[in-house]
Amino acid sequence: MTDLRSAPVPALRVEDHLRGPADAPLVVVYADFSCPRCAVAWARLREADVRVCFRHFALQAKHPRAVPLAHAAEAAARQGAFWELHDRLYADQGRQDDPHLWQHVEDLGLDVEQFERDRRGPEVAGRVQEDVRGALRAGVTATPTLFAGDVLHSGAPDRAWLQALR
């Protein structure tokens, strides 16, 4: 694989979404919610003993719902429910249109009106764009793309790759 990176993977930030034990190997994942390979990657990562950092690589040209869903996840994050919505979006990729999205928001007990204001607001858009810019500079060209340190892995990780992180 040709190295397309012009910059390293951005360092962890306060606003990053992290899941997993703090002492486990860190995997930075660039993904989008409408990508079937990303759903497979997340299922495998949940079974692995790793700490995961989710970052958006939402490109409308690849998946028309990618950007709206990234904005939705960030709007849910503003109400403390990023991972809850994250898991629901990957669990049912066939139902990601707005009526289903609003049902998820209601089921999670979030304020739907606040969710909609945030989802359409410039702060959320800026947050998603920042992730995409960092991904492009780091050489991301497809979803999912995972980084363990400086090692780039494109596609859903297999068990051997995940075990080698230990």
DSSP state of 159: H
User: Could you give the number of structural domains in the chain?
Assistant: 1
Domain extent for 135 = 24-164
10 inside domain: no
Spell out the alpha helix ranges (H) of the chain.
36-47, 66-77, 82-91, 98-107, 112-119, 122-137, 159-164
Based on its alpha-carbon atoms, the radius of gyration of the chain, rounded to whole angstroms, reads 15
**pLDDT of 4 strictly over 70:** no
Run of H or E including 30: strand 26-31
53 inside domain: yes
61 inside domain: yes
156 inside domain: yes
**In this structure, what CATH number is given to the domain that contains residue 142?**
3.40.30.10
**pLDDT of 151 strictly over 90:** no
pTM: 0.92
Residues 65-88: tens digit of each pLDDT: 999 999 999 999 999 999 999 999
Query: What is the percent of the chain with per-residue pLDDT over 70, rounded to a whole number?
Result: 96
66 inside domain: yes
Handedness of CA 133, 135, 140, 144 (dihedral sign): negative
84 inside domain: yes
Helix (H, G, I), strand (E, B) or coil at 22: coil
Q: How far is CA 145 from the centre of its chain?
A: 10
83 inside domain: yes
pLDDT of residue 19: 96
12 inside domain: no
Burial 42-51 (b: 16+ CB within 10 A, else e): beebeebebb
Cβ atoms of 70 and 56 closer than 8 Å: yes
